[in-house]
Homo-oligomer: A and B are copies of this chain.
Amino acid sequence: MARKRFDDSSCSVARALNEVGDWWSLLIVLHAMYGTRRFVDFQQELGIAKNILCDRLGRLVDNGVLRKVDVGEHGSRFEYRLTDKGRDLFPVVIALRQWGDKWNPAPEQEALDLRDRATGRPVQTVLVRDADGQPLSIRDVFMPEDSLPEAKKG
């Protein structure tokens, strides 16, 4: 049997992974954040098969991460644009990018250089912070009992 789905999981991470947790979806969202909007551009930039791209774009649209806009300029032309829900993946994508840059740096590539448009200064590393803004590690936090994950619920 093939991939298990988690639609009914009580764990929101599992449900989130259901929407953007496969190989291509998050890369599509990433490129959408970089500015890509059209089918052929996604296809060429990602090197993804057309049928898979079709499927993933459709699923992302169904899940409200992208929306399909008919820009009827020259024949049938569409754009896939991020929704608010999709844009809200910004911290996730950037955190993952920073993790990758830190732990799997490409030999000949500099790390993500993402800058504040207003000041030109680099953005901070994405961290979990306490109410005062101080960084927290996993050892600095706890969860009240009833929010712990249960067996079989992921």
Contacts of A104 in B (CB 8 A): 12, 15-16, 19
A130 within 8 A of B: yes
Contact B90 A137 (CB under 8 A): yes
Given contacts A151-B45, A154-B27, contact A119 B123 (CB under 8 A): no
Min CB distance A136 to B, Å, is 6
Alpha-carbon distance between A41 and B66 when the two chains are bound, in angstroms = 37
Alpha-carbon distance between A147 and B124 when the two chains are bound, in angstroms = 17
Contacts of A11 in B (CB 8 A): 27, 30
Please pick, from B85, B91, B93, B146, the residue contacting A103 in the complex, using a CB distance under 8 A: B85
A115 within 8 A of B: yes
How many monomers of this chain does the complex have? 2
Q: Which of A16, A64, A89 is packed against the most chain B CB atoms within 10 Å? A: A16
Given contacts A13-B100, A100-B15, contact A133 B133 (CB under 8 A): yes
Contact B12 A97 (CB under 8 A): yes
Contacts of A116 in B (CB 8 A): 130-131, 136, 140-141
- A–B pairs, 11, beta carbons within 8 Å: A13-B30, A13-B93, A14-B27, A21-B23, A34-B143, A82-B138, A91-B95, A94-B128, A95-B126, A110-B147, A114-B128
Chain A residues within CB distance 8 Å of chain B = 3-4, 10-17, 19, 21-23, 26-27, 30-31, 33-34, 44-48, 64, 82, 85, 87-97, 99-106, 108-119, 121-124, 126-131, 133, 136-144, 146-154
